[in-house]
Structure formats: C-alpha cells, structure tokens
Structure 1
Amino acid sequence: MIIQVVLDWQNNMPLVAETGELFQKFGGGPLGRALNVFAFFTIQSNLIVGATSLLLAVNPNRASTVFSVFRLTGLVAITVTGIVTYVALDGLLVFDTWALTADKLLHVVVPIMAVVGWLAFGPRGLTSPRVVKLAVLFPLAYMLFTAIRGPLSSDWYPYPFADVHELGYLRVFINGLVIGLLFVALAAAAAWLDKRLPAKQGAAPTRVEPAL
C-alpha cells in the first residue's frame, strides 16, 4: 500500500491497455493523488485486514462484537477484492516494475494470505447472524460514499463500474447491488464455515462481547 501511495504521489499511473490514456484523474497535486488512493475499496479492505490482524497478534483472544464485525468485514472485503479484480478488472490496466509489485501485493497476495490465515488459524466463534448483518453495512456505505464523493472530486471515481458520470446512477446502483449480494453470500458462507471448522488446539474459547 505504501508503494501505491508513493507511485500516485509521483503521478506514476498505470495506462489503459486499449487506449494508452490515463485511466483515472488523480487530482491536481501530489497530495490529492496520494489521498485518492484511500478511496479504493481495495485499499480500505487491506487496511481493515491489516488492522484486525495486528490486533489479533497483540491479543489472540479478542472476541468483542466490534472486533468481530471488523474481522468478518475485512475477510469478506478482501475476498471480494480478489474476485472482482479477477472478473472485472483483470487485463484492464498495464503495470510494470513497482506498480506491478503493488498491484500483486494488494490484489493477490493479501487476499490469499487473509483467507488462508483465517481458515487455518481463525479465531473461531466470532461470527453470528448479527455480526453478518453488521458486516454488510461496509459495502453499502462504500458505494454511497463513492457516489457522493465523485461529483465533489471532479467526477473522479475509483472504479469503472462505480463511475456515475459515465454509467448513470441506475447502472451504478445495479453494480453495487451485485457486489452487495456477493458480499452477503460470502459473509454467510464464512459464518457457516466458522461454525464447522475446528478451533485451534489449545486456544481459549471465544465469545462475543459488547466492547472492543
């Protein structure tokens, strides 16, 4: 992620493979371009995964409702990142050198490690129907944030499928609904798996509490 921020600060942007034109308008100055990086679903997903993983490293027995929601949100969001990248964005941009490195880390390495880490180490027992419902608020809030922010930032949108200026609100709403349904399905699947995967041997039983 740091690599990506530096690249955008320097205006070292990827090009669209078909047209050779800049894919996104990243703001007028270095700071604006760097800050726009954090408007990407990918970046936000990586941040949530990184933060929850760090908290678990400090205290593996975390089991609050707030933490459980963010843990599930990060897991599902980073999975959606990998899937959407492969299905909708693969081949759209041409990367090289450091841009290619940043792309693979954010869209391939972290999603795989996050999913494998959760499957192997858990912790188990942090999901519930309430946690699933709360986790689904993240993609809804993201699409709303993107739709509102776009016109306020010179019609800049982080993804083609979220570009209201080009597609219109109805098409973007449908695209968001599809992604939201995918998020719901993955969150429900993760909750189902969580109840059936064995807990790590020797780990203390987890329980959901009201505070972080």
Structure 2
Amino acid sequence: MTPERARWVHLVVAAVAWFALVLQLVLVLQGGRVLDEVDPPGLVARIYRYFAYFTIQSNILVAVVSTMQSRDPTCGIRGWRVARVAALVGITVTALVHFFLLRPLLELDGLDWLCDKLLHMAVPLLAVAAWAWVGPRPRIALRDAAYALVWPVLWVAWTLAVGQVDGWVPYPFLDADEEGWAAVGITCTGVTILFLLLFTLYAWLDRRLRPAPR
C-alpha cells in the first residue's frame, strides 16, 4: 500500500465520520431523540449533551485524525501518535459498548436509525479496517497508550460529576441514582479493563503487522 493510496482510504473514513457527526448534530438541533429520551431538552442542553457522548467524541477523534492522515499518511509526531491510538481504541470501545450494553435499549427509525448505525457500526469498522490495511504502522508505543488513556478517564470523571449536579448522564449504566454506585463502579472498572486490554492489543499488533504504508 503506497502513501498515495493510503490517503484515499483515510479520506473515505473521514468523509463517513464527518457525515455521521453532522447528521447527528442536525437531528439533535431539530429535537431528535437521543437514546431513550422522549422530550428533548432546551437548545443549549441539547448541544452540550451531543458533545458529552463518548460516541460523539470518539467519532470526532476519528474524523480529525483521518482527515489529517489523508494529507500525511506517514505522520509520526508523538502528539499525533497519541491522538491516533486514542481514536482507534475509543472507536472500538464505542462499537463494543453499543453492541453489548446499549443496542437492546434503542428503538430508532428513519434518519435516527441511519445515524446510529453510522456512528456505532460503520465508522468503527472503517476506522479499524483502515488502520489494519494502511496503518500508519509501526507508530504505537506503550507511553503513547498511557497518554491516550487520560482522555477516557477524564471523560468518566467529568460525566459522573456533572451527573450529580444536573441528574443527566449520557448512558444509563452510568446513572448512579438508578443503578447504584456499586453497579456504576463495577461497570467503570470493566470498561477500564477493556481499554487497557485494547491499548495493549493494538500496541502488540502495531509491532507484529506489516509496516504500512510503504
């Protein structure tokens, strides 16, 4: 795989991710449903909640990283490597958590259904497939993975803190009032372990798979 072809692969991933993000934002601004909400909140709250979802943040990371890699598919700057591995692991967790924990809760149709599939299935599959096919590899060091872990840890801390103030959390398994702190703690521990395993797996694969692009 040459850098020229790698640019096109990353461009496709970026285009799908940006399309899904913009579509979801338009639906949110129009009062579309978010998970199992029936009555949408005010405009400011809707915008905040849009960006508060880990799904949205991981898709934004993928969109930004893929856009930049469509310009320079061989970039190896440390800060860039951290963002890349954070996007890769974050979007993988998004897909896994959605499939195992959230999918049974969703009853969507029309554009809401389409956007849900794009954000939780299409973009994760494309992002992981693009990395496996065109890289860039090798680029992941354990130190980069450690830095990348800061983002999800801060996200959980912020989400739980804000949830205690206004009573809203983006995902039902983080609702301490409904689930109890013990259940939330177990869930957070499990997701943290999942993150650590994925960071380790991708770092290992990064060294084992063929370097790309050429």
Query: TM bucket by the smaller chain?
Result: 0.7 to 0.9
What's the TM-score once normalised by structure 1's chain length?
A: 0.86
What's the offset of the Cα at 1:14?
5.4
CA distance in 2: counterparts of 1:14 and 1:39, whole angstroms: 12
Matched with 1:210 is none
1:158 to 141, 156, 170: 170
What's the offset of the Cα at 1:171?
2.4
1:187 paired with 2:199, answer yes
Residues 98 and 65 (structure 1), Cα distance of their counterparts in 2 relative to 1, 3 Å cut: same
Q: Is the 8 A contact 1:163 1:172 kept in 2?
A: yes
What's the offset of the Cα at 1:170?
3.3
**1:1-212 alignment, distance < 5 Å:** 1-13=21-33, 16=36, 22=37, 26-27=40-41, 29-152=42-165, 154-200=166-212, 203=214
Q: Is the 8 A contact 2:32 2:40 kept in 1?
A: no
What's the offset of the Cα at 1:2?
1.5
Q: Please state whether the residue corresponding to 1:181 is helix, strand or coil.
A: helix
Moved over 3 A (4+): none
CA distance in 2: counterparts of 1:186 and 1:36, whole angstroms: 27
Unaligned runs of 5+ in 2: 1-20
Q: Is the 8 A contact 1:124 1:195 kept in 2?
A: yes
Q: Deviations over 1:5-60 (max 9, x none)?
A: 222222221574xxxxx36x753x12321331110010000001111111111222
Residues 148 and 118 (structure 1), Cα distance of their counterparts in 2 relative to 1, 3 Å cut: same
Unaligned runs of 5+ in 1: 17-21, 204-212
What's the TM-score once normalised by structure 2's chain length?
A: 0.85
Amino acid at match of 1:12: G
CA distance in 2: counterparts of 1:132 and 1:12, whole angstroms: 35
Amino acid at match of 1:162: L
**Which structure: greater helix fraction?**
2
Q: Is the 8 A contact 1:75 1:114 kept in 2?
A: yes
Identity of aligned residues (%): 35
What's the offset of the Cα at 1:86?
0.6
Q: Please state whether the residue corresponding to 1:195 is helix, strand or coil.
A: helix
Residues 197 and 114 (structure 1), Cα distance of their counterparts in 2 relative to 1, 3 Å cut: same
Aligned length: 194
